[in-house]
């Protein structure tokens, strides 16, 4: 049975990441460490025969992909795909991560993180609020665009008999895709910047290979 191997990469470290700031669909440049991480990962994957690369429309993901592909042996076609952009925190973008979930708990008068211990994505269902934060993304919409986006590119790859896809995206997107498509997988924390999560798709099921591995940890 034909399968497609999917390499899902979180973008390089940004200034907002380094400062512990809620980033979402706001964008900040890669740090020096973010550049270096992308270059090192590109060097590690330089011989991987990438049939198609997809990237979020946010700058930090596109910078990461450009740095990676500059190290690659052969050019890979690139398509920008909005479905893989990060979750939108609305008015809370730019908040300090350390205080954000406390604010959510106070607003909803419940311990948001405790309530979401067995459902990673559930915590983001508290971010949208019709009155207090109408600019945030509804969790149902976020899940739908992730599901639609991944199935579109994976099924298209099978139709074209492509074997290796590279997707450069974001932390919550990576964990969200795993929770949505890998049975019994429960995310806990966001993976490191410029880490790789790999799974395979055969037209019916997704099979997880490994999660959150940096260039130094990759099994090749």
Digit-coded pLDDT (tens) for 140-159:
999 999 999 999 999 999 99
Rounded distance between C-alpha atoms, residue 38 and residue 44, angstroms: 10
In angstroms, rounded to a whole number, what is the distance separating the alpha carbons of residues 130 and 56?
A: 27
Q: What is the pLDDT of residue 124?
A: 93
pLDDT at 56: 99
Q: What is the CA radius of gyration of the chain?
A: 17
Per-residue pLDDT at 174 = 98
CA distances from 164 to 48, 50, 100, 103, 167 (A): 8, 5, 37, 42, 10
CB 134 within 8 A of CB 31: no
Whether the Cβ atoms of residue 194 and residue 36 lie closer than 8 Å to each other: no
pLDDT tens-digit map of 89-121: 999 999 998 789 888 888 888 888 887 777 899
pLDDT of 191: 95
User: Average of pLDDT values for 75-88?
Assistant: 97
CB neighbour list of residue 125: distance below 8 Å, 6 or more residues apart: 139
pLDDT digits 0-9 by tens, 175-213: 999 999 998 888 878 999 999 999 999 999 999 999 999
The whole-model pTM stands at: 0.95
Q: Which CATH architecture has domain 4-86+138-217?
A: 3-Layer(aba) Sandwich (3.40)
pLDDT value at position 210?
96
Q: What is the DSSP letter of 189?
A: S
Strands (E), 40-169: 52-55, 78-80, 164-169
pLDDT in tens, 37-61: 999 999 999 999 999 999 999 999 9
**DSSP bridge pairs for 5:** 164, 200
Query: Sheet holding 4-10: strands in order across?
Result: 78-80, 52-55, 164-169, 4-10, 196-201, 206-213
């Amino acid at each position: 049975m034909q399968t497609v191997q999917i390499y899902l990469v979180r973008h390089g470290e940004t200034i907002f990441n380094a400062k512990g700031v809620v980033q979402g669909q706001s964008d900040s440049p890669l740090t020096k460490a973010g550049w270096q991480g992308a270059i090192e990962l590109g060097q590690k994957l330089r011989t991987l025969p990438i049939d198609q690369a997809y990237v979020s429309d946010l700058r930090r993901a596109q910078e990461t992909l450009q740095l990676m592909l500059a190290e690659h042996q052969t050019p890979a076609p690139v398509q920008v795909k909005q479905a893989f952009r990060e979750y939108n925190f609305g008015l809370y973008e730019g908040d300090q991560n350390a205080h954000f979930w406390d604010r959510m708990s106070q607003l909803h008068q419940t311990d948001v993180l405790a309530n979401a211990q067995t459902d990673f994505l559930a915590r983001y269902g508290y971010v949208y609020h019709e009155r207090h934060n109408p600019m945030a993304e509804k969790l149902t919409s976020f899940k739908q665009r992730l599901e639609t986006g991944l199935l579109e590119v994976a099924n298209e790859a099978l139709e074209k008999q492509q074997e290796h896809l590279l997707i450069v995206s974001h932390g919550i997107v990576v964990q969200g895709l795993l929770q949505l498509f890998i049975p019994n997988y429960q995310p806990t924390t966001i993976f490191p910047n410029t880490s790789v999560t790999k799974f395979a798709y055969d037209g019916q099921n997704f099979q997880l290979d490994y999660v959150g591995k940096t260039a130094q940890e990759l099994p090749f």
